């Protein structure tokens, strides 16, 4: 009787909303069937090792930026033998060049493993914005080679994998240019392909030629068309119409996309997943310039809970 009343109330509610779609209670299977509280604590069996999850913030961010991401993964997978490293070595200077920030993150990961004497079975990375480029750069370093066969999931939240070329927001492009000049930022120079006159010698192009992503079991690209800080096509690693029409830079852009995607497609054990996100944003200045959507993947509890419950937790099991 109770279930029947709930069902009738739900159907009535859906009619009043007048929307095409479904509610999360309609889903027959969720990413996790474990309740949001752990079972009675038992002695952990550490023979299988720890799943290390490294979270890396973006430009001008800090180690607390991805705290909600960590929280919802921990809530959804209690007893999952997860150990989170909330990277903080770059939070004092995200305007440095990518090589410098790569060194810092790599040192931080290795020191964390050694300090806590961790037996690592799997390593996953979660990056926001510019942090995703630092993660990809770490994968190419000889010192990280030992861990490549332990890579599990790379969750990229609004990552500028193709830089910020072909950004359709003049306001944001101008703002980034001014910030680069004021801060003398190496990372912003590299994201805009202005670190070398020869595009094929630019940091991002050369990074695209190096191996790394294909070692993951899951490469998950989360992007939002409402985000104007990072171009939608850059976060999804795909071609855009403007690049197709550009005879000078377009061919180089296409090469870079091919460099990134071909190894993923050819890798038998690697799955590439793209998620497009549309946020319900208020009409504010932040929403207008695209900043609201850029940070909503970090601070929107509504988005994060539903994303991980419906799909995201599957990538960390």
Q: Which two tokens stand for residue 214?
A: 């294909």
Q: What pLDDT does 30 receive?
A: 75
The residue to which tokens 């830089």 are assigned: 163
Q: In what order do the strands lie in the sheet with 151-157?
A: 82-86, 50-56, 120-128, 151-157, 218-223, 271-276
The CA distance from 134 to 56, in Å, is: 8
Q: Is 221 helix (H, G, I), strand (E, B) or coil?
A: strand
User: For residue 95, how far is the Cα from the chain centroid?
Assistant: 19
Q: Which two tokens stand for residue 84?
A: 């989170």
Number of CB atoms found within 10 A of residue 79's CB: 11
Q: What pLDDT does 80 receive?
A: 84
The CA distance from 296 to 128, in Å, is: 11
pTM of the model: 0.85
Query: Are the C-beta atoms of 74 and 109 separated by less than 8 Å?
Result: no
Q: What pLDDT does 46 receive?
A: 46
**Segments of the chain scoring below 70 in pLDDT:** 1-4, 18-25, 34-47, 169-183, 285-290
The CA distance from 60 to 62, in Å, is: 7
């Amino acid at each position: 009787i109770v279930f029947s009343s709930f069902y009738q109330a739900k159907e009535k509610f859906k009619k009043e909303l007048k929307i095409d779609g479904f509610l999360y209670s309609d889903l027959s299977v969720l990413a996790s069937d474990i309740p949001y509280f752990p079972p009675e604590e038992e002695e952990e069996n550490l023979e299988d090792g720890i799943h290390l999850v490294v979270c890396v913030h973006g430009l001008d961010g800090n180690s607390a930026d991805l705290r909600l991401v960590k929280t919802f993964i921990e809530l959804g997978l209690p007893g999952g033998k997860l150990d989170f490293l909330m990277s903080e070595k770059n939070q004092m200077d995200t305007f440095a060049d990518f090589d410098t920030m790569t060194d810092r993150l790599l040192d931080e990961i290795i020191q964390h493993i050694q300090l806590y004497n961790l037996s690592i079975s799997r390593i996953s990375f979660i990056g926001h914005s510019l942090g995703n480029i630092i993660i990809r750069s770490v994968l190419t370093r000889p010192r990280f080679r030992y861990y490549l066969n332990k890579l599990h999931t790379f969750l990229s939240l609004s990552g500028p994998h193709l830089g910020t070329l072909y950004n359709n927001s003049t306001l944001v492009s101008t703002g980034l240019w001014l910030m680069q000049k004021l801060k003398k930022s190496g990372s912003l120079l590299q994201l805009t392909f202005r670190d070398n006159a020869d595009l094929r010698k630019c940091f991002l192009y050369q990074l695209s030629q190096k191996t790394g992503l294909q070692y993951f079991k899951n490469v998950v690209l989360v992007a939002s068309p409402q985000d104007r800080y990072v171009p939608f096509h850059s976060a999804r690693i795909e071609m855009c119409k403007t690049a197709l029409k550009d005879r000078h830079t377009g061919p180089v852009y296409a090469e870079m996309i091919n460099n990134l995607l071909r190894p993923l497609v050819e890798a038998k054990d690697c799955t590439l997943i793209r998620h497009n996100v549309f946020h319900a944003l208020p009409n504010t200045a932040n929403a207008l310039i695209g900043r609201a959507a850029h940070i909503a993947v970090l601070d929107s509890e509504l988005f994060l809970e539903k994303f991980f419950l419906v799909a995201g937790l599957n990538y960390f099991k």
